[in-house]
């Protein structure tokens, strides 16, 4: 019942009705109401107080400070992420999967994030075709990526490739010609669509160059979804289960409200009117930090070191010992803790549920190790007493299934995250321009100034 009512508010077109609007037309329809909402907020509530700014915010990474506008998703500390009000389970129920598949696909998630509506099947398929049409890499990007040393981290290569695509930015060219502010969003959308469409080919080329030099890369199939094509280009297209896992992975990593380091970086850089390619490349370099997206590679590295040290007989007791060893040596346990969440990440749970449906995954030692670690790590972290959230985040689980299916090069895992995070970051770039949001410029303070201010209050 609840889901149906959420859906009613989200979707003006019931899913069975074969609407064939383009995503641009669907967006055009919803922009005026959002612009009016922002105008109303400015006119009527500009001076309303949303919270206090405390010294702990200024020196504590702004944790918990309500200070950003972000439309597509909101994160609840206990329930986790909702995309325009829909939980992951809601999305699994209402978003169109690939033909022959069950999992959410990137196109339907992108449509939901961007327009706030659930796309019809016809709309989803036409978006897949549009992205496939735009998906080829320009020659200069191919040459650039092929010229990079294979020892360069795949995330560095991804960020470089994305930044270099600004050579073709429609927004940058239009700005140079001279356009009105009201036209910013439409050129931004054009760049975002091209970038999203090309990410699989770019990411797959990096994979091929680093791990399978010289191997041919599949051509883009215009009848396949974005991630189906990505899987093909990686060389895993014949593995239906892995392709489905990649679809789920990429859909649920797509957005995590605005304050996470990658989304926030893209928003900040975009606020200077840097084009979407430059803005998103900056986001990728934030994602490449081990406290953020790179944690998914760190989880595998940490697990393998544990396996080496413990051997094949892994018990709860010796996992506990290894956790304490990590903590006592001053390192973090990768895949655990979170800046906002205070319970197990529903993305972690969704990936675990995927494993539950496949008996062969449940027998896999790497997947079993994730589960056994989850059995004991929260209590160890609680006893350690530092982290505010002793539970797993998505990175604790995302890599082990890839590993099982033969995508074992874990330095590549954050690249897959980088293909995904574009869904939310690019959505917000379009909205920031449609709403005319200003350049970000918070006020900073020195410690002397803080002390003076504190004494005077
Ligand atoms: C997709 C994502 O980005 S999800 C996050 C992925 N990152 C990781 O999994 C890396 C491990 N986790 C962490 O480092 C942290 O939990 C973060 C970065 C995710 C969040 O950081 P914060 O919001 O600062 O966490 P919190 O307020 O709980 O930190 C308090 C203390 O606990 C420590 N702590 C937090 N998580 C952990 C952990 N997993 N292992 C050990 N210590 C931890 C912090 O380092 C901090 O220590 P300090 O007081 O000595 O500086
Ligand atoms: O929300 C955060 O801070 C980190 C995270 O889980 C994400 O970006 O997906």
ipTM, two decimals, is 0.99
Q: In testing the pocket of ligand 2, which one of 113, 251, 295, 393 has its CB within 8 Å of the most ligand atoms?
A: 393
Per-residue pLDDT at 403: 97
d(CA 457, CA 442): 21
Q: How far is the CA of 393 from the centre of ligand 2 (A)?
A: 9
Q: Atom 2 (ligand 2): residue with closest C-alpha?
A: 260
* φ and ψ at residue 218, rounded to 5 degrees: -60, 150
Per-residue pLDDT at 430: 98
Q: How far is the CA of 60 from the centre of ligand 2 (A)?
A: 17
Does ligand 1 have an atom closer than 6 angstroms to the CB of 291? yes
d(CA 390, CA 381): 5
Does ligand 1 have an atom closer than 6 angstroms to the CB of 389? yes
Q: How far is the CA of 340 from the centre of ligand 2 (A)?
A: 8
Q: Of 125, 142, 122, 357, which Cα lies nearest the Cα of 228?
A: 125
Per-residue pLDDT at 6: 53
Q: Which residues contact 278 (CB under 8 A, 6 or more apart)?
A: 163, 166, 269
Per-residue pLDDT at 1: 34
Does ligand 2 have an atom closer than 6 angstroms to the CB of 339? yes
Walk along the chain (457 residues) and give the pLDDT tens digit of each residue.
334 555 555 544 444 446 789 999 999 999 999 999 999 999 999 999 999 999 999 999 999 999 999 999 999 999 999 999 999 999 999 999 999 999 999 999 999 999 999 999 999 999 999 999 999 999 999 999 999 999 999 999 999 999 999 999 999 999 999 999 999 999 999 999 999 999 999 999 999 999 999 999 999 999 999 999 999 999 999 999 999 999 999 999 999 999 999 999 999 999 999 999 999 999 999 999 999 999 999 999 999 999 999 988 899 999 999 999 999 999 999 999 999 999 999 999 999 999 999 999 999 999 999 999 999 999 999 999 999 999 999 999 999 999 999 999 999 999 999 999 999 999 999 999 999 999 999 999 999 999 999 999 8
d(CA 237, CA 77): 36
Does ligand 2 have an atom closer than 6 angstroms to the CB of 256? yes
- As beta bridge partners, residue 355 has none
What is the set of active-site residues? 292, 338, 395
Q: Atom 8 (ligand 2): residue with closest C-alpha?
A: 260
The CA–CA distances, whole Å, from 238 to 164, 189, 219 equal 32, 33, 14
Q: Which listed ligand is nearest to 290 at the C-alpha? A: 1
The CA–CA distances, whole Å, from 98 to 92, 105, 244, 333 equal 12, 7, 9, 36
8 Å CB contact between 124 and 21: no
8 Å CB contact between 333 and 381: yes
Q: Which listed ligand is nearest to 258 at the C-alpha? A: 2
Q: Which listed ligand is nearest to 326 at the C-alpha? A: 1
d(CA 177, CA 146): 33
d(CA 322, CA 334): 13
d(CA 73, CA 253): 12
316-335: b or e for each residue (b if 16 or more CB lie within 10 Å)? eebbbebbeebbeeeebbbb
Does ligand 2 have an atom closer than 6 angstroms to the CB of 258? no
Q: Atom 16 (ligand 1): residue with closest C-alpha?
A: 337
Q: Which listed ligand is nearest to 384 at the C-alpha? A: 1
Q: Atom 7 (ligand 2): residue with closest C-alpha?
A: 256
Q: How far is the CA of 293 from the centre of ligand 1 (A)?
A: 13
Does ligand 2 have an atom closer than 6 angstroms to the CB of 260? yes
8 Å CB contact between 378 and 334: no
Per-residue pLDDT at 13: 43
Q: Where do the domains of the chain lie, and which CATH numbers do they carry? A: 295-404 (1.10.230.10)
Per-residue pLDDT at 17: 47
Chain CA centroid to CA 42, Å: 30
pTM of the model: 0.96
The first and second tokens of residue 385, run together, are: 């007493």
Residue 75 host element (H or E): strand 73-76
d(CA 249, CA 353): 12
Q: How far is the CA of 295 from the centre of ligand 1 (A)?
A: 11
Q: How far is the CA of 292 from the centre of ligand 2 (A)?
A: 7
């Amino acid at each position: 019942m609840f889901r149906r009512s959420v859906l009613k508010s989200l979707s003006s077109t019931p899913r069975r009705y074969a609407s064939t609007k383009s995503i641009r037309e669907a967006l055009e329809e919803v922009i005026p109401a959002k612009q009016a909402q922002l105008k109303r907020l400015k006119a009527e509530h500009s001076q309303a107080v949303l919270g206090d700014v405390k010294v702990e915010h200024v020196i504590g990474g702004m944790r918990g400070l309500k200070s950003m506008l972000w439309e597509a998703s909101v994160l609840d500390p206990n329930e986790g992420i909702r995309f325009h009000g829909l939980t992951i389970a809601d999305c699994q129920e209402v978003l169109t999967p690939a033909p022959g598949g069950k999992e959410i696909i990137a196109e339907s998630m992108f449509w939901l994030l961007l327009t706030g509506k659930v796309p019809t099947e016809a709309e989803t398929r036409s978006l897949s075709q549009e992205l496939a049409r735009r998906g080829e890499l320009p020659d200069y990007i191919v040459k650039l990526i092929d010229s990079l040393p294979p020892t360069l981290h795949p995330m560095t290569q991804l960020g470089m490739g994305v930044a270099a695509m600004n050579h073709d930015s429609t927004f940058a060219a239009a700005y140079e010609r001279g356009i009105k502010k009201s036209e910013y969003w439409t050129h931004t959308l054009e760049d975002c669509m091209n970038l999203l469409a090309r990410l699989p080919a770019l990411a797959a080329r990096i994979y091929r160059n680093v791990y399978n030099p010289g191997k041919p890369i599949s051509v883009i199939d215009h009848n396949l979804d974005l991630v189906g094509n990505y899987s093909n280009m990686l060389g895993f297209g014949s593995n239906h289960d892995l392709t489905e896992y990649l679809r789920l992975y990429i859909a649920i990593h797509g957005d995590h409200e605005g304050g996470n380091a990658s989304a926030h970086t893209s928003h900040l850089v975009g606020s200077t009117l840097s084009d979407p390619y430059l803005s998103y490349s900056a986001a990728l370099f934030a994602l490449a930090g081990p406290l953020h997206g790179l944690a998914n590679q760190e989880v595998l590295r940490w697990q393998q070191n544990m396996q080496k040290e413990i051997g094949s007989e892994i018990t709860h007791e010796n996992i506990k010992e290894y956790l304490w060893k990590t903590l006592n040596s001053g390192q973090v346990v990768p895949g655990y803790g979170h800046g906002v969440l205070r319970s197990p990440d529903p993305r972690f749970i969704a990936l675990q549920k995927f494993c539950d449906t496949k008996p062969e995954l449940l027998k896999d030692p790497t997947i079993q190790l994730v589960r056994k670690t989850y059995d004991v790590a929260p209590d160890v972290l609680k006893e350690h007493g530092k982290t505010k959230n002793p539970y797993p985040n998505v990175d604790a689980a995302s890599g082990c299934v890839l590993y099982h299916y033969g995508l074992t090069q874990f330095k590549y895992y954050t690249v897959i995250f980088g293909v995904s995070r574009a869904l939310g970051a690019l959505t917000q770039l379009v909205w920031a321009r449609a709403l005319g949001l200003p350049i970000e410029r918070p006020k900073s303070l020195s410690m002397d100034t803080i002390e003076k201010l504190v004494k005077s209050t």
